[in-house]
Amino acid sequence: MAKLRTETFTVTPTGVGRKDYSQDVQFSVEPTIRSYQLPYTFQEAYILNAGQTRTIDINVPAGQVVMLYDMLMCCPANVLLSFEVQTIDTDGVVNSVFHKAGYQKVDHHLPRGVPVFSAIRLIMTNNSTLNLTDVQVSLAGQQMSQEEYFMRLMP
Amino acid sequence: MAFVVETKGIGRRDYSENIEVATEPFIRSRQLRFFYSIRYTALALTYPNVYEAPLAFLVNGQLQDAAPSTPYLFSFLTVAANRNALVALQFNRYESYQDYLNGNIAEVLGCSYGYEKTDLRFTKPIPTREGSVYSVYIAEFSNLAFNLELAIHGLIGALETLE
């Protein structure tokens, strides 16, 4: 790639009144973590015997929303794992976020996140003939109240 | 094709063609970036034994173990070996230095295994809590003495606080 030309745009003040600063009005900043958000992490080690599938539900506190961004399942052996993450809404509707398989590790990142209102369901499968005693699951995201998630204004 | 707004009449000129050239910066005005990288040379480890590397924070030119009031945001941690051996990385938080000495982990923020390398990526960085002590477990389980490269990236600042 080659840059063909650079053009500098200058706003020349003319007449009377306030200067035109429109070139720079978008230099305002956005914090990485807003004041109403808390970090959310979940980390647990599980036993998965050969060929076993385990389903784990992680409850979200009532009135809260967890935004999930990063999900990781791994073990200290080069075996085929399968990992599915589902979200359960307050009305019981189950949505599958992703379902992947991988050797030794399955990870998934969602740049825009996924909201969880009631529970996070993990479905983990060990597709090998080896009994695994240290299957690590790490989840990361943010937590906030439902009012803050929906940005409802206070009366 | 360039679109030109013709000037006519009276009043302020129309600069609407160019007002969207402003960009969103990677580093915001209230942020700094930190980068930590070190090579650990250690004797052989057997699973599940690990080495612990406490993280120090530089405050006013002095290193301290407890996280300062300005939050550090951890976004990426990685370890890499120079051979295809099983490596491990775990990111820990202790409530205090005394808890660190006693080995009482308050929470594990992430744990990952991998062959030759492994990492923890946080799309929304994990902020430190003031006064807490942070460490990483690192390991290579090849039963041989090893060199392990640890790198940690993140930002300093950028938590919104309301007045």
ipTM metric: 0.76
The pLDDT of residue B157 is 79
d(CA B29, CA B157): 10
The answer to whether residues A71 and A111 touch, using CB atoms and an 8 Å cutoff, is no
Mean pLDDT of A34-54: 91
Closest approach of A89 to chain B, Cα-based (Å): 23
Q: Rg of chain B over CA atoms, in angstroms?
A: 23
SS3 content of chain A, % helix, strand, coil (to 5): 5, 55, 40
When comparing pLDDT for A3 and A100, which is higher? A100
Q: How many CA atoms lie within 13 A of B147 on its CB side?
A: 4
Beta-carbon contacts of A93 under 8 Å, excluding residues fewer than 6 positions away, are none
Report angle CA A71, A77, A78 to the nearest 5 degrees: 85
Tens-place pLDDT, residues B28-80: 556 788 889 999 998 899 999 999 999 999 888 899 999 998 889 999 999 99
Whether the pLDDT of residue A71 is over 90: the answer is yes
Per-residue pLDDT averaged across B115-131, rounded? Answer: 94
Q: pLDDT value at position B160? A: 66
Please name the residue ranges forming H helices in B35-110: 97-102
Segment A110-129, tens digit of pLDDT:
998 999 999 999 999 999 99
User: Shortest Cα distance from A92 to chain B (angstroms)?
Assistant: 27
B163: nearest CA in chain A? Answer: A35
Average pLDDT over residues B93-98: 96
Q: Which of the four pLDDT bands, split at 50, 70 and 90, describes residue B17? A: low
Report how far residue B68's alpha carbon sits from residue B121's, in angstroms, rounded to the nearest whole number.
23
- Pairwise CB contact (< 8 Å): B123 & A113: yes
pLDDT over 90 percentage in chain B = 60
Q: Which of A100-104, A113-117, B2-6, B110-114 has the lowest mean pLDDT?
A: B2-6
pLDDT of residue A150: 82
- Give the residue carrying structure tokens 């609407």: B16
Residue A152 has pLDDT above 70, yes or no: no
Q: How confident is the model at residue A26 (pLDDT cuts 50, 70, 90)?
A: very low
Report the 3 state secondary structure along A40-74: EEEEEEEEECCCCEEEEEEECCCCEEEEEEEEEEE
The pLDDT of residue A28 = 43
- Averaged pLDDT for residues A129-134: 96
Question: How high does pLDDT run on average in chain B?
Answer: 85
| Chain B residue with the nearest C-alpha to that of A134 | B48
Of A5-9, B103-107, B153-157, the least confident: A5-9
How far does the CA of residue A88 sit from the closest CA of chain B (Å)?
Answer: 22
DSSP string, B28-39: -TT-EEEEEEEE
Residue for token pair 């720079």: A24
> What domains, with CATH codes, occur in chain A?
37-149 (2.60.120.510)
Q: In the predicted model, is pLDDT for residue A137 greater than 90?
A: yes
Of residues B15 and B153, the one with the higher pLDDT is B153
- pLDDT above 90 for A56: yes
B15:A20 CB<8 A: yes
User: Taking 90 as the threshold, does the pLDDT of residue B152 lie above it?
Assistant: yes
User: What number is the average pLDDT over the span B107-128?
Assistant: 95
Instruction: Provide mean pLDDT across the span A127-139.
Output: 96
- A:B CB pairs within 8 Å: 125
Mutate to test the interface with A, among B132, B160, B161, B163 (most CBs of A within 10 A): B160
User: Domains of chain B, with CATH numbers?
Assistant: 27-156 (2.60.120)
CA distance A109 to chain B (A): 7
Q: Is B12 on the interface with A (CB under 8 A)?
A: yes
Q: What is the pTM of this model?
A: 0.79
The rounded distance, in Å, linking the Cα atoms of B123 and A62 is 25
